[in-house]
Amino acid sequence: MKEPLVKKVKRCIIITGMSGGGKSTALHMLEDLGYYAIENIPPTLLPQLIQVLSKHEEAVHNGVAAVVDVRGESLLKNLQAVVENLRKKGLDLRVIFLDASDSTLVKRFEETRRRHPLSSDSTILGAISMERSELAHIHEIADAVVDTSAMSLSELRREILAKIEISEGPLSIIFTSFGFKYGIPADSDYVIDVRFLPNPFYEPSLRALSGKDNEVGEFIKSSGEIADFIEELFTFFDLVFNLYSNTGKNLVHIAVGCTGGRHRSVAVAEWLCSRFPGNSIVMHRDIEKETVLL
């Protein structure tokens, strides 16, 4: 009898470094990519965490990302031994140290008005100096050191992904049709108004149908300018989605609206979605709502 396949976490990214260096930001970036994220874990607990997460699908499939920093106090001394032990067990483990210049760190703490973990009886600059000393041994064992002093969020994302040798996932796109009389979707990035198109609602043979039906699509296409309009939308979003791919944004929500959200917006949303297959979905928020002549 064939033995059942034993699942286990295969990859772990340890994010460490200076307070104010961008560790929480980096952790959230990895979490968005599907990593199981955990903040401020004592190094000695990492092996148990890795074992427990063998029952967590995303952790097994994508990996685990953990922040380990100066808040761990004396427990940090165990980090090197823990890292070596986990690697011996076959875990792909990377240690990323995020750093920044002293002046940059001071500015970040002043701007956010957050307290440095070591500043209870010291100035911010004094706390930074103590932290550098306490983290020196971790800096030495890090697989990569990233200076975030002059980095934007998108630059930090690209640098982190390069250091852990994974590529950016495809941009996810949601096209949502809606009716203006029911309100614009609050989380939309772009709103396309198609109320200028001929309205199938006023055609008795089409009123009960929706924008998913061929008859409705053909009626809308009877407008001589619709082909140019759709082509311009394709060109516009081709450019927009390409530009977004360089910013770290992983989801774009396009809302397409007509009066009731049953005919014109549905058809146009379907056409747009078909233009970007593989990484897009279409949703019709108001297609089943009662349409009322206004």
* pLDDT tens column, 206-259: 999 999 999 999 999 887 778 889 999 999 999 998 888 666 677 899 999 999
Alpha carbon distances (Å) from 209 to 203, 219, 227, 266, 287 = 10, 12, 22, 11, 10
Does residue 215 share a domain with residue 88? no
- Reduce the DSSP state of residue 90 to 3 states and report it: coil
Q: Is residue 3 part of a domain?
A: no
Does residue 180 share a domain with residue 150? no
- pLDDT at site 232: 92
Does residue 40 share a domain with residue 147? yes
- 267 near 206, Cβ under 8 Å? no
Q: Which of 146-160, 179-193, 201-215 bottoms out in mean pLDDT, i.e. has the lowest?
A: 146-160
Q: Is the pTM of this model over 0.75?
A: no
Q: Above 70 in pLDDT, residue 4?
A: no
Q: Nearest 5°: CA angle at 139, between 136 and 143?
A: 165
- 179 near 289, Cβ under 8 Å? yes
Q: Is residue 220 part of a domain?
A: yes
Does residue 184 share a domain with residue 116? no
Number of domains, the chain: 2
- pLDDT at site 211: 93
Q: Above 60 in pLDDT, residue 187?
A: yes
Range of the domain at 69: 11-163
Instruction: Summarize the confidence of residues 86-103 as an average pLDDT.
Output: 91
